[in-house]
C-alpha cells in the first residue's frame, strides 16, 4: 500500500497501473500460494502448542520452510516471464512491460516474505505476540523511508518501488530470524524450549503427509478467493480508459485492505486460539471463541466501514491526487462499504475452519461462492457491449460484493454444523502425525510460559492477533506493502 501511494503521487497513470497490475499477478501466482502453504503451520503448530508438544512444533516449522522454498522456484520462473503472460491476458503493452519489470525486481521479496510468514505463524501458535508486533511495526515504519529514498531521492520511480518493497520484506525476515535464533538460544534446556536444529525427521514422508493434507487445500482455499479478487484488476484492464479503471480498482483494494486489517488481527487470534483449544481438548472453548470473534468483527467492520465512507476523500487523497481517479472511486464507495462488512465475516469464518483443520471445506465454499457466482456476476455487470451490462468499475465491484455476501452465508452454515467434540479427536490425531506417524507421537516436550502470552494464558483476541503478518488471508501477508 505504501509503495503504491508513493507511485500514485508521481501523477503517472501508466506507472500506477503497472504497480497495481504487478501486485495483482504477484499475489495471484505467488503470495496467495505462499500464504496457503504456510497456513498449515497455523493449524498444526497451534494444536501442537495446545497439546504441549515441542517436538511437533519444531518439525512443523522446518517443514513449512521447506515447502515454501520448493514452491518459490517455479513461481520465480513464472514472474521472470511476466510480460507475455500479461499481454496475452489483454493488458495494454506499456502497462504490461512496466508490471513485468516490477515483478522481476521484486523477486527477493517473495523469499523474504515466506521466511517471515513461517516464523511468524510458529511464534503466534505459542502465544508469542510482542516480537511479531515490534517486527511488523519496525518494517512498516521503515517502508516510507525506503520508498522516499528509492522513488523520490534517487528518482528510480517504478524500479524504486520494487527496491523499497524488497527492503521492507527483507527487514521483516531478518528481524524475525534474529529473534527466533535468540529465543532458541535463551530457552535452551528450559521447559518451554522448542527444538529447532535441522532434523532428518523433518524429511520423513510420514510427517509430510499431515502437513500437505492441510497445506494443499489451504492453498486452494486462499487462491480461490484471492484469484477472484485479482480478477477485478484484470477485468478493469479491459475497460475503456484502462489506466484509470485499473488505478481505481487498485486503490479500492488498498482501501479494502486497510479496513480489513482489524478483522485480520482477530482472524489470526481466532485460528490460533481455536487450534490451541482443540489441542488441549476443550471443544466448548473453541466454539465460544468462534462465535465471539464473529460478533466482534461484525460490529467493528460495520463501524469502520461507515467511518471510511464518511472520510473517503481523505483516505483516497492519501494515495492519488488525480481528479478522475478520485471521482470514480467516490462512485464505487457505497458498494465498497458493504463489502467491508462481508469481508470481515469471511476472514474470521475462514480462520475458524483453518484452526479446526477443515481447509477442504473452506476451499469448497470459496470455489462455489467466488467462481460459481462472483466472477461471472462481476464480468456480467461490469463489461461493456454484448458481454454484459457495461456498468464499468461499479458493476465489477457490485458483483464482487454480492459474492462476498454469499460466501459469508455459506461459511456461516458450515461453521454452525461443526461437531466440536469430533474436532478435538481429529486434533489429537494430527499432532501425533506431525511427529512422524506413530513414531515419537507420544513424546511431548512442554511449551509455553515464555512471558510473551503463553498458550492458554487468557490473553485477549486483539492482543493475540496483533502480531499477525497483517494480511493473513486473501489480501495478505506482505509487511509494509
**What is 65-79 written as a DSSP string?**
HHHHHHHHHHHHHHH
Q: Is residue 303 part of a domain?
A: yes
Please provide the size of the chain in residues. Answer: 481
Q: Is residue 36 part of a domain?
A: yes
The beta strands (E) that lie in 139-201 are given as none
pLDDT of residue 465: 36
If one counts the domains in the chain, the total is 1
Q: Is residue 239 part of a domain?
A: yes
Q: What DSSP state is assigned to residue 457?
A: S
pLDDT of residue 428: 87
Sign of the CA dihedral with 332 first, then 301, 262, and 285 last: negative
Q: Is residue 205 part of a domain?
A: yes
The residue ranges of the chain whose pLDDT is under 70 are: 1, 191-192, 319, 386-387, 435-481
Q: Is residue 477 part of a domain?
A: no
Distance linking the first and last C-alpha atoms of the chain = 5
C-alpha 132/C-alpha 47 separation (Å) is: 20
- Who contacts 310 (Cβ-Cβ below 8 Å, separation ≥6)? none
| Structural contact between residues 193 and 449, judged by C-beta atoms closer than 8 angstroms | no
Its domain, for residue 385, covers 2-452
Q: How far is CA 15 from CA 8, 26, 243, 326, 336, in A?
A: 8, 16, 9, 17, 24
pLDDT of residue 262: 79
Q: Is residue 462 part of a domain?
A: no
The reported pTM is 0.74
Q: Is residue 182 part of a domain?
A: yes
Instruction: Work out the number of other CB atoms within 10 angstroms of the CB of residue 310.
Output: 12
Instruction: Work out the number of other CB atoms within 10 angstroms of the CB of residue 428.
Output: 16
- Who contacts 69 (Cβ-Cβ below 8 Å, separation ≥6)? 111, 114
Q: Is residue 374 part of a domain?
A: yes
Amino acid at each position: 500500500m505504501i509503495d503504491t501511494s508513493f507511485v500514485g503521487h508521481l501523477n503517472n497513470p501508466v506507472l500506477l497501473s503497472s504497480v497495481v497490475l504487478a501486485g495483482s499477478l504477484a499475489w495471484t501466482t505467488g503470495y496467495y500460494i505462499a500464504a496457503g502453504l504456510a497456513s498449515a503451520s497455523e493449524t498444526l503448530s497451534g494444536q501442537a502448542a495446545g497439546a504441549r508438544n515441542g517436538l511437533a512444533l519444531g518439525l512443523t516449522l522446518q517443514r513449512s520452510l521447506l515447502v515454501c522454498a520448493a514452491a518459490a522456484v517455479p513461481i520465480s520462473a513464472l514472474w521472470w516471464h511476466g510480460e507475455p503472460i500479461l499481454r496475452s491476458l489483454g493488458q495494454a503493452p506499456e502497462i504490461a512491460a512496466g508490471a513485468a519489470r516490477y515483478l522481476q525486481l521484486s523477486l527477493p521479496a517473495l523469499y523474504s516474505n515466506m521466511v517471515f510468514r513461517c516464523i511468524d505463524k510458529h511464534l503466534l501458535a505459542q502465544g508469542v505476540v510482542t516480537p511479531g508486533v515490534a517486527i511488523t511495526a519496525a518494517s512498516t515504519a521503515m517502508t516510507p523511508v525506503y520508498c522516499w529514498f528509492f522513488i523520490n531521492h534517487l528518482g528510480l520511480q517504478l524500479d524504486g518501488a520494487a527496491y523499497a518493497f524488497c527492503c521492507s520484506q527483507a527487514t521483516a525476515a531478518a528481524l524475525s530470524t534474529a529473534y527466533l535464533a535468540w529465543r532458541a538460544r535463551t530457552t535452551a534446556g528450559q521447559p518451554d524450549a522448542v527444538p529447532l536444529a535441522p532434523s532428518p525427521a523433518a524429511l520423513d514422508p510420514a510427517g509430510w503427509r499431515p502437513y500437505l493434507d492441510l497445506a494443499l487445500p489451504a492453498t486452494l482455499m486462499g487462491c480461490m478467493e484471492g484469484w477472484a479478487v485479482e480478477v477485478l484488476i484484470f477485468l478493469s484492464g479491459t475497460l475503456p480508459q484502462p489506466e484509470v479503471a485499473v488505478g481505481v480498482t487498485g486503490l479500492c483494494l488498498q482501501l479494502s485492505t486497510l479496513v480489513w486489517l482489524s478483522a485480520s488481527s482477530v482472524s489470526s487470534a481466532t485460528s490460533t486460539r481455536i487450534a490451541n483449544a482443540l489441542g488441549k481438548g476443550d471443544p466448548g472453548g473453541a466454539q465460544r471463541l468462534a462465535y465471539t470473534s464473529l460478533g466482534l468483527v461484525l460490529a467493528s467492520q460495520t463501524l469502520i466501514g461507515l467511518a471510511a465512507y464518511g472520510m473517503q476523500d481523505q483516505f483516497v487523497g492519501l494515495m492519488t491526487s488525480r481528479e478522475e481517479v478520485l471521482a470514480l472511486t467516490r462512485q464505487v464507495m457505497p458498494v465498497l462499504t458493504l463489502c467491508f462488512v462481508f469481508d470481515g465475516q469471511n476472514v474470521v469464518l475462514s480462520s475458524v475452519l483453518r484452526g479446526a483443520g477443515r481447509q477442504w471445506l473452506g476451499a469448497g465454499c470459496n470455489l462455489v461462492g467466488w467462481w460459481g457466482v462472483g466472477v461471472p456476476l462481476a464480468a456480467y455487470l461490469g463489461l461493456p457491449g454484448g458481454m454484459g451490462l457495461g456498468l464499468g468499475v461499479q458493476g465489477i465491484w457490485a458483483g464482487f460484493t454480492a459474492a462476498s455476501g454469499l460466501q459469508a452465508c455459506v461459511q456461516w452454515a458450515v461453521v454452525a454444523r461443526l461437531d466440536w467434540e469430533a474436532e478435538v479427536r481429529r486434533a489429537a490425531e494430527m499432532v501425533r502425525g506431525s511427529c512422524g506417524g506413530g513414531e515419537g507421537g507420544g513424546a511431548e516436550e512442554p511449551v509455553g510460559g515464555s512471558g510473551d502470552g503463553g498458550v492458554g494464558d487468557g490473553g485477549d483476541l486483539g492482543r493475540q492477533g496483533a502480531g499477525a503478518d497483517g494480511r493473513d488471508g486473501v489480501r495478505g501477508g506482505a509487511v509494509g506493502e
